[in-house]
């Protein structure tokens, strides 16, 4: 791993952040998912990669709507959650 980090540190950091974000959907509780999301966004904003920062800002902006998925897990389909988000924000968040 140390040899890879020497080759292209920015690309490796971006890849590791992306792979780490996959854990987000594994959370069951919205409070834990929210803490993970806050931490991930902070780390992404510290990179020098503008595309990663753009995603982080979007996630931070829409955090309450994203966490609706965890609040409704097992009770509503993802389509119904999107419908709730649409009613709460006046527009569909993508």
- DSSP string computed for the chain: -HHHHHH-HHHHHHHHHHHHHGGGGG--SHHHHHHHHHHHHHHHHTSS-HHHHHHHHHHHHTHHHHHHHHHSTTTS-HHHHHHHHHHHHSS---
Mean pLDDT by 10 residues, the chain (94 residues): 67 87 90 95 92 94 88 64 60 48
Q: Is the pTM of this model over 0.85?
A: no
Q: Are 37 and 59 in contact (CB under 8 A)?
A: yes
Per-residue confidence (pLDDT) for residue 40, from 0 to 100: 96
């Amino acid at each position: 791993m140390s040899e890879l980090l020497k080759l292209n540190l920015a690309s490796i950091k971006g890849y590791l952040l992306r792979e780490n974000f996959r854990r987000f959907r594994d959370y069951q509780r919205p409070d834990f998912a929210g803490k993970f999301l806050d931490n991930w966004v902070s780390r992404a904003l510290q990179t020098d990669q503008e595309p990663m920062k753009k995603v982080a800002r979007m996630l931070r902006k829409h955090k309450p709507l994203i966490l609706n998925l965890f609040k409704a897990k097992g009770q509503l389909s993802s389509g119904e959650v999107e419908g709730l988000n649409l009613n709460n924000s006046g527009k569909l968040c993508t």
